[in-house]
Homo-oligomer: A and B are copies of this chain.
Amino acid sequence: MIRLQPIARDCRLFIPQAAVLYHALPVSYPITARVFSTSSSPLRKDGAPSTYDLEASRRNLSNASSVAKESKNAQNETSLNNGGKGVYSPTPIKDAREYFERAGIPGMDLQWSPRGIRGKDYRGKSTETSAATLRTFCHCELCRNKANGQRTFPESAIDPNIRIASVEALPGGLRINFASEERRLDKEGTHTSYWPWRRLLAAVKHHVFRGNPPSEARIRLRTKVSYWDAAMLEKKIASIDYSRFKEYDGKWDAIMQLCHLGIVIVKNVPLKEESVSAVAERIGPVRETFYGRTFNVKAKPNPDNVAYTAESLGLHQDLLYLHSPPKIQILHCMENTCEGGLSLFSDGERAATALLANLGVDHPLMKALMERKVPYQYYTSGRNYYQARRVIECSAGQLKRVYWSPPFVGDSTRCDMDFTAEWIRAARVFQDMIDAEDAVFKLRLEPGDCVLFDNMRVMHGRTAFDSGTGSRWLRGAYISHEDFVSVASAIPMAILRKFSDQYSTDAAIGKGNALPKSFIEDLHKAVQRHGFGAVNN
């Protein structure tokens, strides 16, 4: 089983509140593809009948009607229509706690009434869930399409005044019989749902009906993140042969490396124009842009982008003027016989994290990097793209995102004038850290090499090349943030486990706070050099 060690403070990205809840569950709880598992089909497991017992449903309906009538007498109509608010007189559900405990879950005492289910945990804290809610999130095979897991009815088809007619505790979960006077959805006016204990607990206690949405923060809790400088990456960067990349393991290794180091190389990729999209499609759909579905990086006359010259290109991220800049960039080397033209990479999150950890959010330098919105724009050949982004985006003191693309900074739509000088000095510090000799990993791409990197974390650039001495031709493609997150959320346990063992013994780069002393010293020197005075940490 994979060990989920607490992650170092400064290499943890922002984690939404709900993540905490999910991760409190045992890790063996299946993280992907858990929603539409057949175990939530009605009464399939635990020896319960596998088809609907319509007779029983009808009996339940008449029970429900009488229960409902009683409850109408006891309470006023409004509280019923309110869908769960107000008082009701609940009936304890026999054996519920025992079955919870048998399933290995610290459960609750449960009570039911026509309007919903109430739980009381061991601290005596009460929570409840309404009948309409439980009916809405039913997972039975009548309510969900078996092939695609999609809901077979709109939520609005459910009777807002639906009642629980009866409940029955079974070893595997709770069977709930619903009754309704509307027959919009359930033609008999009745319906039976089956709630496995764990799912019922999440619903009643936390009002949660599925795990957390896919997110980069959750992926990183599983893959961990190692920040690197040139020497570290030299040791650590993985080269995967294209033949292996086409296999199951090779693909997932590459995805794992992209999450952990933010960069990976695939070797011996066939020198065909279509190879770069083939590499992308192993991971996710291609993110097409106005540069094309794929693009060629070579010097050309009248370039519409500075990348298409032979000039050196400072370290930057691509396409920050897009609303959602591409996550993964893929560069496939087709030809490279020029002098020069080395590919450069630098770990932007390492720099941002180090600044954040060593200066804190209140330092004037950090204020400049975290407050000034840098305008990125592209307004050539009838295209109009614009986004303003802070260099460092934080949430609750944790790094959320870093944006750095000096060659594409345009004109501001509104700009705090008095701030420019301060901003330039802060930008110089950041630039010095990104550009430092130690920080920049240099790579000479050979034909057949394909480098994949995380454009949201790793800045890239190149040295100038002499197009008189030969040719240099790279082919590029992108994968969007959400398409990568979609795939990386499904990294198989076996792959995670393999890397987890490897990474946990690797103290040197395993933690973001284990940045080398010399790097921190350089940081402090850069801060002073650009006039921000001594650092009070």
Name A residues whose Cβ lies closer than 8 Å to a Cβ of B.
18, 32-33, 35-36, 81-85, 116, 128-130, 132-133, 136-137, 145, 147-151, 154-156, 158-161, 206-214, 284-290, 292-293, 302-306, 314, 322-324, 374-375, 377, 379-380, 382-388, 406-425, 427-428, 431, 481-483, 485-487, 489-490, 531
CB-contact partner of A35 in B129, B324, B411, under 8 A: B411
Provide the bound-state CA to CA distance between A437 and B431, in Å. 61
**Nearest Cβ in chain B — how far from A108, in angstroms?**
15
Considering the complex, give the chain B residue whose CB is closest to the CB of A289: B285
Query: Cβ of A129 and Cβ of B417 under 8 Å apart?
Result: yes
B411–A128 touching, CB < 8 Å: no
Known: A208-B413, A213-B413, A384-B485. 16 other contacts (CB 8 A): A32-B379, A81-B421, A83-B419, A84-B420, A85-B418, A133-B417, A148-B303, A154-B314, A155-B374, A155-B406, A156-B427, A160-B422, A160-B425, A210-B377, A286-B288, A286-B293
A413-B148 in contact (CB<8A): no
Give complex CA distance A379, B375 in Å: 36
Measured in the bound complex, the distance between the Cα atoms of B286 and A234 in whole Å is 38
Alpha-carbon distance A151/B130, docked complex (angstroms) = 59
| Distance of A290 Cα from B423 Cα, bound (Å) | 41
CA A531 – CA B83 in complex, angstroms?
Answer: 13
Say yes or no: A414-B206 contact (C-beta < 8 A), given A314-B154, A421-B83, A427-B156.
yes
Sample 29 A-B pairs with CB under 8 A, ordered by A number.
Answer: A18-B413, A18-B414, A32-B382, A35-B379, A35-B410, A83-B419, A83-B420, A84-B421, A148-B305, A150-B306, A151-B409, A154-B407, A154-B431, A160-B420, A160-B422, A160-B531, A207-B416, A208-B413, A209-B412, A210-B413, A213-B387, A214-B384, A286-B288, A286-B293, A382-B490, A383-B486, A384-B485, A384-B489, A384-B490
- Going nearest first, the 4 A-B pairs with the smallest beta carbon separation are A83-B421, A154-B406, A213-B386, A210-B411
Copies in the complex: 2
Q: Which of chain B's residues have a CB closer than 8 A to the CB of A382?
A: 32-33, 487, 490
Question: Which of B84, B290, B323, B413 contacts A324 (CB under 8 A)?
Answer: B323
A322 touches B420 (CB 8 A): no
Given contacts A145-B306, A410-B210, contact A155 B417 (CB under 8 A): no
Residue among A83, A84, A411, A415 with the most chain B CB within 10 A?
A: A411
Q: Is the CB of B384 within 8 A of A486?
A: yes
CB contact under 8 A between A208 and B130, given known A422-B83, A485-B384: no
In whole Å, how far is A304's beta carbon from the nearest beta carbon of chain B? 5
Supposing A154-B314, A160-B422, A531-B81 touch, asked if A148 and B380 sit within 8 A by C-beta, the answer is yes
